Amino acid sequence: MGPARSGTENREGCPHPGPSNGGQDVRASEARPNPRINIGLRMGRSMSVPLPGRKVLLTVHVATAVSVLGTDLVLLVLGISSVGGADPQTIYPAAHLVATWLLAPLAIAALGTGVLLGLLTQWGLLRYWWVTIKLALTAILTGVILIVLVPRLGVAADAATALDPSPFTDAERLPLLVAPAAGVTLLVLIVALAIYKPGWRLRSRPKRRHERG
């Protein structure tokens, strides 16, 4: 084996023309903070998605959440019309169509993007009360929409469009009013939690020590 190369020689064995500070440059570059890593450390997680990607995800989440609220308001208007004596053959097929093709997909998208935002940002899923409550309410609403609302509206639409439909009683018309009204109330609460962001912590985040090279 030949003699070890000094820090002032390049790969060909020739000395550098000036005073060597290669080792210092390497150490300085290693010690120079990386903004992406620092952001990840401040958030308490690794940055698997860059900032522009998270902004796109936040935009999709806000758009779908607001759309869920708007769609629920449409169902509320149909419920008010039904209780007011509107024709069930018009109301219930329309309500079933809105719930199946708009409300259910939007609710799933709002829930999915909300979970991703909790995982990819400093808020977490089980760190702040408002995030946990918001996600729990969104999950409950999504389950009620998929398991209860859409199937029952389908049954009501089939009954309203049957060859010999029986008249809908007031008790049969009332759920189309009550369910969207309850949904709108919970959605307004979810929006309020997202805007005000109460600082109540579900658990404290452990402190991390940053090593300096």
92 phi and psi, to 5 degrees? Answer: -75, -40
Rounded Cα distance between 186 and 142, Å, is 12
Q: What is the value of pTM for the model shown?
A: 0.71
CA distances to 4, 5, 11, 168, 172 from 1, rounded to whole Å, are 9, 11, 16, 96, 93
State the Cα–Cα distance between residues 16 and 39, nearest whole angstrom.
38
In which residue are the tokens 């020689």 written? 9
Q: Where are the domains of the chain?
A: 50-196
Contacts of 137 by beta carbon, 8 Å cutoff, 6+ apart = 186, 189, 190
- Phi, psi at residue 189, to the nearest 5°? -65, -40
With 60 as the cut, is the pLDDT of residue 104 above it? yes
- Among 28-42, 95-109, 189-203, which stretch is predicted with the lowest mean pLDDT? 28-42
Tens digit of each residue's pLDDT (9 = 90 or more) over 110-130:
999 999 999 988 888 888 999
Instruction: List the structure tokens of 178.
Output: 């009550």
Burial of 110 per CB tally in 10 Å (0-12, 13-18, 19+)? buried
Query: How far apart, in whole angstroms, are the C-alpha atoms of residue 211 and residue 68?
Result: 45
Q: Is there a contact between 135 and 118 (Cβ–Cβ < 8 Å)?
A: yes
Residue 37 has pLDDT above 50, yes or no: no
Whether residue 36 contacts residue 205, with contact meaning beta carbons closer than 8 Å, is answered with: no
The pLDDT assigned to 186 comes to: 96
